[in-house]
Structure 1
Amino acid sequence: MSHVLLVRLAAPLQSWGVASRFLRRDTHTRPTKSGVIGLCAAALGLPRGPDPRAQGAGSAKDGSGDPLAELTPLLFGVRADHPGKPVRDYHTVGAGRYPLRPRDLVTDHRRAAALAPVLESAEGAAFGHHELDDWYGAPKKIAADPRSGTLVSAEPRRNALITERWYLADAAFLVGLQHHDRALLERIAHALEHPARLLWLGRKSCPPSGQIALDVRPGTLADVFASVALLPAFTELPPRTGDDDRPWAWLESRRPVPGTGPVLDQPVHFGAMGPQHAPRWETRIRVTVDPHAPAWDIVP
């Protein structure tokens, strides 16, 4: 018999990247399976990749040493109760003024020369707190000067990096994780409320708000999504409008059937050299929520 763990993902901001590259960081319109499995793995305190010392003994129950062995078979679904609003962050990194540290006087003689007139008065707590205009960060690309042999920085001046980062504001999603092992789902639910590591919704700047793990219920993703009420909105929102105000849901399928499409967010590993993903199949449906379903009594 299948059971479904219901997970609430709501916060002022969340971001679920699927195709982010370099200076542009996008977000998907909904949580990804990779992001949610990573959330559960962090809550359980699992390592990012296989532990060579665990081979044979196994960091997973199957003895494979794969920390995600129990989590990747979970069937994944998400219901967009409140999809939120896309917002863009004009993000700059670096430039401006940066405090001079004592070691910078050793590694970059040009900075020392520029500050020579004021170094005589640098005493006690004031030492090391002089600043230079248009300097970003600590010295980089340090190498010996070919003429003097002194260690210097090849980048004495730097400009700001400008990046574009997208988020979902005031969104609330109901995620379902389906599996036949109820004990496994209950263990994940307990970990989400008592996490071994810090949790965030896609990025470290997006911590979750309020209660995360809601309940474990018997049934399939489609049945459970239809039987539970909509989540309360994270903020006060205008009433839904349109001919069909039923929420959309995306349900994972174990195999391709008519109406399904491929999604490249099935996690394989979250190794230090970068995550690896495989394709999976999912379908999109409108969910008719039971009008008599009791409202949620949760900490917002």
Structure 2
Amino acid sequence: MKTLVLKLAGPLQAWGTDSRFAYRHTDPHPSKSGVIGLLAAAQGRRRSDSIEDLLGLRFGIRRDQPGRVIRDFHTAARPDRSMVQPLTYRYYLSDAVFAAAVQGNDDLVEGLAKALRQPRFPLYLGRRSCPPASPPFVAVLTRPVSEVLTSTARESGVPWLASPWWQRKQPVDVHLDIVRDADPGELEHDRVRDVPLSFDPHHRRFGTRSVVTDVCRLTNDVSRRRVRTSHDPFDMWEKADAPDAD
């Protein structure tokens, strides 16, 4: 089994698993349905094509740079104004960076990696208005998702993918949140409805999956918030109040 690693970064991202009517929300991290849709687009599959072979992929994400939620207003109308769509509220993640990992059999993963290098269709981070800032492909590794995301060693995991300016603002000890598919027999932390059974516009269907949360701990060597332990601001006052040695 191999694991394909992706970097999902862009000015805007939107990963909605619970959008209704005029409110189009986004989750705080990429959804499995959104990433599978991105991989299917890279292979040139159309929405009505089968994605059954992709449903067995094990999936996980790591929030390397959480970003922030912003809101936009959207409406549409025909040129002759004969029909105007209602105003909708659309939420996005701004300046976020995620490490995503999908695990499957060797041939499938290698085929997906090749497609990401030369995608057939344009790739989007959840919505068509959200193109990636750079090609998503990072690497193909021979470790499971759980190990790939909890390690930042290049030979066995995913380096911290956050922007340099973000890394400098973070503390020395950094904890990166991980959300991944639960392993067989592992106690689930939550269930989410984002397994795409069909992308067909006329028969869109989604199933649920069990997920667990984890954390990746690392030492931030470029932090500007290092604690200086060699200087005590009260030291000079203690010396001034001390009695003379004689």
TM-score bin (small chain): 0.7 to 0.9
Q: Is 1:283–2:212 an aligned residue pair?
A: yes
State the superposition RMSD in angstroms.
Answer: 2.3
Post-superposition Cα deviations, 1:82-128, rounded to whole Å, max 9, x if no partner, equal: 0111011122434xxxxxxxxxxxxxxxxxxxxxxxxxxxxxxxxxx
Matched position secondary structure for 2:47: coil
Tell me if the contact between 2:99 and 2:158 (Cα under 8 Å) persists in the aligned partners.
Answer: no
Unaligned stretches of 5+ in structure 2?
152-156, 222-246
TM-score w.r.t. length of structure 2:
0.79
| Aligned positions, number | 214
The CA deviation at 1:255 is: 4.5
TM-score w.r.t. length of structure 1:
0.66
* Aligned twin of 1:28: 27
The CA deviation at 1:229 is: 1.5
Post-superposition Cα deviations, 1:150-195, rounded to whole Å, max 9, x if no partner, equal: xxxxxxxx6673211100001110000012x222212101111211
Superposition misfits of 4+ residues, deviation over 6 angstroms? none
Report which structure shows greater RCO (CA 8 Å, sep ≥6).
1
Distance 1:206 1:168 in 2: 10
The CA deviation at 1:241 is: 4.5
The CA deviation at 1:261 is: 1.6
Tell me if the contact between 1:255 and 1:281 (Cα under 8 Å) persists in the aligned partners.
Answer: no
* Aligned twin of 1:91: 74
For residues 70 and 77 of structure 1, do their structure 2 counterparts lie closer, same or farther at Cα, with a shift above 3 Å needed?
same
Unaligned stretches of 5+ in structure 1?
51-66, 95-135, 141-157, 293-300
**Within 5 A, what are the aligned runs for 1:154-193?**
161-179=86-104, 181-193=105-117
Distance 2:208 2:146 in 1: 21
Deviates more, 1:265-274 or 1:248-257: 248-257
Deviates more, 1:12-21 or 1:268-277: 268-277
For residues 25 and 274 of structure 1, do their structure 2 counterparts lie closer, same or farther at Cα, with a shift above 3 Å needed?
farther
Q: Is 1:229–2:159 an aligned residue pair?
A: yes
* Aligned twin of 1:212: 136
**Within 5 A, what are the aligned runs for 1:74-153?**
74-94=57-77, 137-138=79-80, 140=82
* Aligned twin of 1:68: 51
Which residue type is aligned with residue 36 of structure 1? Answer: V
Distance 1:200 1:215 in 2: 19
Q: Is 1:246–2:172 an aligned residue pair?
A: no
**Larger-gyration structure (1/2):** 1
